[in-house]
């Protein structure tokens, strides 16, 4: 049985051909599945009965089993999906007045192992398939339309951010068809500006994404120099800041937006002094990357041993960036009461990478700043 959520429109057309059908049937089928949320081929009444029968024999439209759903007092909803072999991934819906954002996972766990990230501490199990990435959107969109009682034709989800569990650019082959399905006018019809890939900085894959499927890009910076970034985001040892920023500048040539979003997680006494902010200004100015900064107050979890920066510290850091001419905002924490905030998505990961051992053997060698001045 083939799960049709795995197939973008080209792949679906090829499948239709194999079944002895015309390629254009794939568009009808694709619309039934993604625009209308149909999973029962019997419902698809404008398809020939013969095709419906063939599909019923060979294909399904199927989502991973849902383990749990938690709703926050602020409207945020978090779902936990079973992806088999003891692994589970999380998806988060974040409603705002003018949009509905879905935060989607790309891997069960993550191999990058950032110090401040709960997913990183869990280690890595496996990549999600295209269908498992798309299923999160398919499920959320069609579930929410019913739940929120939306009028026919109105969408629940206007934005997708690949900011759930995992490093999307370390699952490139599955990611790109999933992005294409999100952008497809016969699918979710999201504009490139409203689909964001967030990465810890997999430089060669940023370069490929620019050519294959340029969508909005967010880069997790977290430090103004290589010494500190090596500690916080271990991938920096492979792709240091100079290479990362050069790749960001190139990305802008094809990007749907004229800036890169830099995410910066505010860690008390680690990367949050005014000196760090000044260093960041200099770094960005020298790189020539047009950008916006998004400061994320650290969301603590027990094993991290790290603390969130004080509000006053965040404000001061923000002001240095703004006074230096950068556009910078502080990300409002959502879904705090259900552990749905950035970096808190832990799911359930059967670690194959010994992350726990690695992380305790190599305690954080952070150069802590003496003063915040």
Helix, strand, coil percentages (3-state) for the chain, rounded to 5, are 40, 20, 40
Catalytic residue among 6, 90, 231, 263: 90
Read off φ and ψ for residue 248, nearest 5 degrees: -65, -45
Q: How far is the CB of 326 from ligand SAH (least distance, A)?
A: 17
Which residues, 102 to 121, sit near ligand SAH by CB under 6 A? Answer: 116-117
- Shortest spacing between CB 328 and ligand SAH, in angstroms: 15
Minimal distance, residue 256 CB to ligand SAH, in Å: 18
Nearer to ligand SF4, 171 or 200 (CB): 200
Q: Is there a catalytic annotation at residue 342?
A: yes
Q: Which of 103, 117, 248, 342 is catalytic?
A: 342
Residue of 183, 223, 296, 340 interacting with ligand SAH (CB under 6 A): 296
Q: Return the half-sphere exposure (C-beta side, CA atoms, 13 A cut-off) of residue 32.
A: 20
Helices (H) and strands (E) in the chain, counts: 12, 14
Supply the minimum distance, in Å, between the C-beta of residue 163 and ligand SAH.
4
Q: Identify the H or E element spanning 80.
A: strand 77-84
Q: Residue 190 binds what, of ligand SF4, ligand SAH, none (CB under 5 to 8 Å, by partner type)?
A: none
Residues at the contact surface with ligand SF4, assessed by CB under 6 A: 110, 112-114, 117, 119-120, 166-167, 200, 220
Interaction between residue 199 and ligand SAH (CB under 6 A): yes
Largest CA distance in the chain: 74
Secondary structure class of 161 (helix, strand, coil): strand
**In 148-198, where does DSSP find H-type helix?**
172-183
Of 141 and 268, the one with the shorter C-beta distance to ligand SAH is 268
Nearer to ligand SAH, 197 or 252 (CB): 197
Q: Which does 263 bind (CB under 5 to 8 A by kind): ligand SF4, ligand SAH, none?
A: ligand SAH
User: Count residues contacting ligand SAH (CB under 6 A)?
Assistant: 15
Report if residue 167 touches ligand SAH, rule: CB under 6 A.
Answer: yes
247 binds ligand SAH (CB under 6 A): no
8 Å CB contact between 109 and 124: yes
Q: Using CB under 6 A as the criterion, what x/- string covers residues 64-103 for binding ligand SAH?
A: ----------------------------------------
Cβ contact 133:175 at 8 Å: yes
Could you say which residues in the range 17-56 bind ligand SAH, by CB under 6 A?
Answer: none
Judge contact between 345 and 92, C-beta under 8 A: yes
* CB-based burial label for 39 (10 Å; 0-12, 13-18, 19+): middle
Q: Is 263 in the site for ligand SAH (CB under 6 A)?
A: yes
The β-bridge partners of 217 are 197
* Residue 90 bears catalytic tag: yes
Compute CA 238 distance to the chain's CA centroid, rounded to the nearest angstrom: 22
Answer yes or no whether residue 220 interacts with ligand SAH by CB under 6 A. Answer: yes
Helix extents (H) in 148-273:
172-183, 203-212, 226-232, 241-254
Please name the residue ranges forming H helices in 64-123: 118-122
Q: Would you say 115 or 180 has its CB closer to ligand SF4?
A: 115
Find the radius of gyration of the CA atoms of the chain: 21
Give the binding site for ligand SAH (CB under 6 A). Answer: 116-117, 163, 167, 198-200, 220, 263, 265, 296, 298-299, 342-343
Q: Which residues are catalytic?
A: 90, 342
């Amino acid at each position: 049985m083939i799960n049709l959520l795995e197939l973008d429109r080209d792949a679906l057309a090829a499948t239709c051909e194999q079944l002895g059908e015309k390629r254009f049937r794939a568009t009808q089928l694709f619309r039934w599945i993604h625009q209308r949320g149909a999973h029962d081929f019997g419902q698809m009444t404008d398809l020939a009965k013969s095709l419906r029968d063939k599909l019923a024999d060979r294909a399904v439209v199927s989502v991973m089993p849902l383990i749990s759903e938690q709703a926050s007092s602020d409207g945020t909803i978090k779902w936990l999906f079973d992806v088999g072999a003891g692994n589970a991934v999380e998806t988060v819906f974040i409603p705002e007045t003018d949009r509905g954002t879905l935060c989607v996972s790309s891997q069960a766990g993550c191999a990058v192992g950032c110090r401040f990230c709960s997913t990183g501490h869990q280690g890595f199990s496996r990549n999600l398939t295209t269908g498992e990435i798309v299923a999160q959107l398919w499920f959320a969109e069609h579930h929410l339309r019913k739940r929120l009682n939306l009028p026919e034709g109105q969408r629940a989800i206007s934005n997708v951010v690949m900011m759930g569990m995992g490093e999307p650019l370390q699952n490139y082959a599955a990611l790109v068809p999933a992005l294409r399905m999100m952008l497809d006018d016969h699918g979710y019809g999201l504009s490139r500006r409203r689909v964001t890939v967030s990465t810890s900085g997999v430089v060669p894959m940023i370069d490929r994404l620019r050519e294959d499927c340029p969508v909005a890009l967010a880069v997790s910076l977290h430090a103004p120099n290589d010494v500190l970034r090596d500690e916080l985001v271990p991938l920096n040892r492979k792709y240091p800041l100079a290479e990362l920023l050069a790749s960001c500048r190139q990305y802008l040539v094809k990007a749907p937006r004229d800036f890169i979003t830099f995410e910066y997680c505010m860690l008390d006494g680690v990367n949050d002094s005014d000196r760090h902010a000044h260093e960041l200004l200099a770094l960005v100015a020298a790189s020539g990357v047009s950008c916006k900064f998004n400061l994320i107050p650290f969301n603590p979890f027990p094993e991290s041993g790290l603390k969130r920066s004080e509000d006053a510290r965040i404000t001061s850091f923000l002001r240095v960036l703004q006074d230096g001419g950068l556009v910078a905002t502080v990300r409002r924490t959502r879904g705090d009461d259900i552990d749905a905030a950035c970096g808190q998505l832990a799911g359930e990961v059967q670690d194959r990478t010994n992350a726990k051992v690695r992380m305790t053997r190599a305690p954080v060698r952070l150069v802590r700043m003496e003063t915040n001045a």
